[in-house]
């Protein structure tokens, strides 16, 4: 039985609390929308005062916003307030956002999460369409849902009905108060993530490339990790698996394809190339007497470690394996729709 190997590499794009600059259209600006809880529980009403920590958390997030981004700042209690709009072209612009966070009047008495988030989602959708913008929404709250008959799953359905391939919704649950129904709804929604405490978010994107494998040979592909703050999460890890193998043409035998390692691809497996650049290697094994021409769909899945939330956008890529005699012609292209082609 013949076994062939091909080395593959994946790429990470700018990470700091979920800031990812690998866009569907490289010319599209990013819109980052903060939806911040302003109820009195933040300042210790009925519990511990965490407001100073929340402000510092927001300040750190603001420091990581890339230039040429747009930031929308909402606050909420029983109602949604805002947004204040900021265009980031300098550190002075970031200072204005920090000042807006500093001046929040934390006086709300009721935490209506679902309706407030739904209104913010609707605003982003109507004013910043995915055809022109890449969108990130960050809900930051320390409370439980208090809105009567609230349906958070329906809010996620609304969000998912218009999200683009590279949009993402982050739910930051500061005191771990979200009910299991909300956690499960987020888990089952593509392009959404839940973090507890002062969570950090790591977003990974495969390189925009079709990987061509010519049977009977072996070829390496190098792809780079770009890290905005020059450090990977110390406990970062992810899984990689073969989602499906589809033959090209008729009468071919579907090969047995495995990936090694397939689980717990951790930060310890990465190699630092230079400041801000890393790479990781895994192999795809083709096990068959006579391999057919086929497309192999590889899926990537983050493994959350503590408060760190790891996600992939999109969640996989394609390897095209063929037995034609002519050498493969590497291609680099983007295509509308989900996944890498």
Contact 73, 62 (CB under 8 A): no
Residue 53 has pLDDT above 90, yes or no: yes
What pLDDT, on a 0 to 100 scale, did the predictor assign at position 241?
Answer: 79
Contact 109, 39 (CB under 8 A): yes
Average pLDDT over the chain, rounded to an integer:
75
Tokens 């605003």 locate to: 123
Flag whether pLDDT at 227 surpasses 60: no
Query: How deeply is 42 buried, as exposed, middle or buried, from its count of CB atoms within 10 A (0-12, 13-18, 19+)?
Result: buried
Other Cβ atoms within 10 Å of 282 Cβ, number: 16
In this predicted structure, which of 63-67, 186-190, 234-238 has the lowest mean pLDDT? 234-238
**Is the model's pLDDT at 122 over the cut of 70?**
yes
pLDDT at 66: 78
Give the separation between CA 156 and CA 69, rounded to whole angstroms: 24
pLDDT in tens, 173-185: 999 999 999 999 9
**Tens-place pLDDT, residues 64-82:** 787 888 999 999 999 999 9
Q: Average pLDDT of 160-170? A: 85
Query: Half-sphere exposure (CA, 13 Å, Cβ side) for 21?
Result: 16
What's the rounded Cα separation, in Å, for the pair 259 and 211? 15
CA distance 62 to 138: 12
Assess whether pLDDT exceeds 60 at residue 213: no
Highest mean pLDDT among 31-35, 222-226, 239-243: 31-35
Query: pLDDT class for 341, splitting at 50, 70, 90?
Result: very low
pLDDT category of residue 124 using cuts at 50, 70 and 90? very high
pLDDT digits (tens, 9 = 90+) for 319-335: 777 654 444 455 544 44
Q: Which residue has the higher pLDDT, 165 or 54?
A: 54
Name the CATH superfamily, with its identifier, for domain 30-199.
von Willebrand factor, type A domain (3.40.50.410)
Give 288's pLDDT tier (boundaries 50, 70, 90): low
CB 323, CB 292: distance < 8 Å: yes
What global pTM score does this model have?
Answer: 0.67
Domain boundaries, the chain: 3-16+204-322, 30-199
* Three-state SS annotation for the chain: CCEEEEEECCCECCCCCCCCCCCCCCCCCEEEEEEEECEHHHECCCCCECHHHHHHHHHHHHHCCCCCEEEEEEEECCCEEEEEEEEECCHHHHHHHHHHHHCCCCCECCCCHHHHHHHHHHHHHHHCCCCCCEEEEEEEECCCCCCCCCCHHHHHHHHHHHCCCCCEEEEEECCCCCCHHHHHHHHCCCCEEEEECCCCEEEECCCCCEEEEECCCCCCCCCCEECCCCCCCCCCEEEEEEEEEEECCCCCCCCEEEEECCCCEEHHHCEEEECCEEECCEEEEEECCCCCCEEEEEEEEECCECCEEEEECCCEEEEEEECCCCCCCCECCCCCCCCCC
Lowest mean pLDDT among 43-57, 119-133, 214-228, 318-332: 214-228
- Which one is predicted more confidently, 22 or 103? 103
Q: Which residue has the tokens 């076994």?
A: 3
More confident residue, 25 or 137: 137
Per-residue pLDDT tens over the stretch 236-252 = 777 777 888 887 766 56
Query: Which of the following CATH numbers is that of domain 3-16+204-322: 2.60.40, 1.10.287, 1.10.1760, 1.10.12?
Result: 2.60.40
Percent of the chain with pLDDT over 90: 36
């Amino acid at each position: 039985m013949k076994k062939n190997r091909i080395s593959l590499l994946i790429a990470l794009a700018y990470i700091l609390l979920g800031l990812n600059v690998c866009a569907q259209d490289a010319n599209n600006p990013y819109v980052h929308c903060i939806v911040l809880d302003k109820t009195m529980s933040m300042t210790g009403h009925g519990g511990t005062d965490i407001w100073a920590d929340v402000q510092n958390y927001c300040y750190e997030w603001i420091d990581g916003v890339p230039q040429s981004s747009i930031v929308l700042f909402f606050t909420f209690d029983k109602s949604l307030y805002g947004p204040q709009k900021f265009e980031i072209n300098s550190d002075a612009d970031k200072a204005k956002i920090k000042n807006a966070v500093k001046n929040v009047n934390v006086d709300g008495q009721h935490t209506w999460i679902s309706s407030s988030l739904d209104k913010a989602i609707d605003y982003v959708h109507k004013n910043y369409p995915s055809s022109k913008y890449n969108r990130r929404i960050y809900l930051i709250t320390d409370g439980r849902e208090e809105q009567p008959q609230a349906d958070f799953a329906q809010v996620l359905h609304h969000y998912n009905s218009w999200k683009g391939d590279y949009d993402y919704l982050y739910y930051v649950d500061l005191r771990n108060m979200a009910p299991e129904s909300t956690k499960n709804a987020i888990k089952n929604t593509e392009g959404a993530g839940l973090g507890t405490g002062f969570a950090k978010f790591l977003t990974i994107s495969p390189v925009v490339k079709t990987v061509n494998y010519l049977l009977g040979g072996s070829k390496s592909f190098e792809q780079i990790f770009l890290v905005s703050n020059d450090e990977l999460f110390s406990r970062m890890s992810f899984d990689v698996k073969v989602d499906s193998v589809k033959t090209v043409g008729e009468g071919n035998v579907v090969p047995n394809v495995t990936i090694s390692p397939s689980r717990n691809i951790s930060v310890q497996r990465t190699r630092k190339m230079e400041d801000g650049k890393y790479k990781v290697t895994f192999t795809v094994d083709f096990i068959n007497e006579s391999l057919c021409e086929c497309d192999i769909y590889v899926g990537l899945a983050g493994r959350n470690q503590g408060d760190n939330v790891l996600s992939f956008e999109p969640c996989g890529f394609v390897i095209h394996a063929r037995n034609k005699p002519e050498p493969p012609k590497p291609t680099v292209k983007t295509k509308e729709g989900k996944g890498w082609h």
